[in-house]
């Protein structure tokens, strides 16, 4: 083969590698690769993203607080919480009285989140778990959020189905969906606006509001049909279920133990490990 052909092949391979590992963060190589890349990048994630806490308050925390004004101490789940950006935005709000759960597939990302939330008196719990199956009872949360992460879920419809399941009637869903030029690089991983609306409608989620955010995302707000019934759960133990058998879990010194199958889920650096 001539030098020109070798050079063209090398160029193509480098382009493919760049697309698979950098532009699309491993999403076409499977959930293990996505997780590995976030494990490796956890320490530099916040520096790369340059989060603006003021903007996060304005676009995420304040509108969510407003939508939850009728809930007393609302429980909120942040799916794929990463380094805890959404948790921190809510915890920093002076009037916010809810309690929070941040779930993510990457332990190193959660370790960074832990450093940020530990000064807030145990109001945020961190769970190490893939989001494909959420380890919570139906209707557990007043709000479920998933920011900059839906595109990484191995089965996005299933992930949305799970988020809708754990949301209480009248509860609020907040999602981001990649739009604009990014959709060109992510075929099959993003939703058209109408497609997403009809998928949400099929999951009993209505009153959908969409707003462009951060150049390449839509922020999507939706509400689960029905009215909130009674007092919302007061802590994680009330809603957490064993990922193996679906029974309740109880605290056992440095772990949570299943009341049915006896499996123990340890705390690792303050993060509850539900990986099974
Ligand atoms: C771009 S980061 C977003 C983190 C955070 N929500 C934010 O806005 O900064 C994507 C996150 O999704 C997590 N993730 C990817 N696939 C996941 C899955 N299947 N289950 C749970 N978390 C996942 C990654 O570990 C990473 O922390
Ligand atoms: Zn069990």
The pLDDT value recorded for residue 162 is 98
Does 144 sit in the ligand 1 pocket, CB within 6 Å?
no
Strands 255-258, 249-252: pairing kind: antiparallel
Does 34 sit in the ligand 1 pocket, CB within 6 Å?
yes
Domain limits for position 258: 240-270
The pLDDT value recorded for residue 53 is 93
Does 213 sit in the ligand 1 pocket, CB within 6 Å?
no
The pLDDT value recorded for residue 20 is 86
| Same domain assignment for residues 108 and 209 | yes
Ranges of residues in the chain with a pLDDT under 70 are 276
H-state helical runs in the chain: 3-17, 31-49, 53-56, 62-67, 85-91, 107-117, 156-166, 182-185, 193-202
The pLDDT value recorded for residue 3 is 86
| Same domain assignment for residues 146 and 254 | no
How far does the centroid of ligand 2 lie from the alpha carbon of residue 266, in Å? 14
What CATH number is associated with residue 103? 3.40.50.150
The pLDDT value recorded for residue 230 is 81
Ligand 1 atom 1: residue of nearest CA: 148
Does 110 sit in the ligand 1 pocket, CB within 6 Å?
no
How far does the centroid of ligand 2 lie from the alpha carbon of residue 239, in Å? 14
Closest ligand to residue 145's CA: 1
| In a domain? residue 275 | no
pLDDT one-digit tens code per residue, 226-257 = 988 888 999 999 999 999 999 999 999 889 99
Of 165, 159, 109, 161, residue with least CA distance to 130? 159
Of 80, 108, 112, 219, the one to substitute when testing ligand 1's pocket (max ligand atoms within 8 A of C-beta) is: 80
Ligand 1 atom 10: residue of nearest CA: 149
Closest ligand to residue 78's CA: 1
- Compute the distance between CA of residue 32 and CA of residue 38 in angstroms, rounded to an integer: 10
Q: Is 3 exposed, middle or buried (0-12, 13-18, 19+ CB in 10 A)?
A: exposed
| In a domain? residue 148 | yes
The pLDDT value recorded for residue 263 is 96
The pLDDT value recorded for residue 246 is 97
The pLDDT value recorded for residue 275 is 86
Number of domains in the chain: 3
| In a domain? residue 231 | yes
| Same domain assignment for residues 244 and 153 | no
Atom of ligand 1 nearest to the CA of 154: 19
């Amino acid at each position: 083969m001539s030098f020109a052909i070798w050079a063209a092949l090398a160029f193509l391979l480098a382009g493919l590698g760049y697309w698979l590992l950098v532009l699309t963060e491993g999403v076409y190589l499977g959930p293990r690769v996505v997780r590995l890349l976030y494990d490796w990048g956890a320490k530099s994630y916040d520096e790369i993203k340059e989060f603006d806490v003021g903007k996060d308050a304005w676009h995420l925390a304040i509108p969510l607080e407003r939508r939850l004004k009728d809930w007393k101490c609302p429980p909120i789940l942040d799916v794929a919480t990463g380094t805890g950006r959404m948790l921190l935005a809510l915890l920093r709000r002076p009037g916010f009285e809810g309690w929070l759960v941040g779930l993510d597939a990457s332990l190193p990302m959660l370790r960074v989140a832990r450093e940020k939330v530990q000064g807030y008196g145990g109001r945020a719990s961190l769970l190490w778990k893939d989001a494909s199956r959420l380890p919570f009872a139906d209707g557990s949360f007043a709000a479920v959020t998933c920011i900059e992460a839906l595109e990484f879920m191995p089965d996005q419809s299933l992930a949305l189905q799970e988020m809708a399941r754990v949301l209480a009637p009248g509860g609020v869903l907040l999602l981001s969906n990649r739009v604009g030029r990014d959709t060109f690089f992510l075929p099959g991983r993003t939703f058209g606006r109408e497609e997403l609306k009809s998928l949400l409608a099929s999951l009993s989620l209505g009153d959908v509001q969409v707003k462009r955010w951060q150049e390449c995302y839509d922020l999507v707000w939706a509400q689960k049909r029905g009215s909130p019934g009674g007092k919302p759960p007061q802590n994680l133990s009330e809603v957490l279920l064993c990922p193996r058998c679906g029974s309740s879990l109880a605290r056992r010194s440095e772990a949570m133990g299943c009341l049915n199958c006896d499996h123990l889920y340890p705390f690792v650096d303050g993060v509850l490990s539900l990986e099974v």
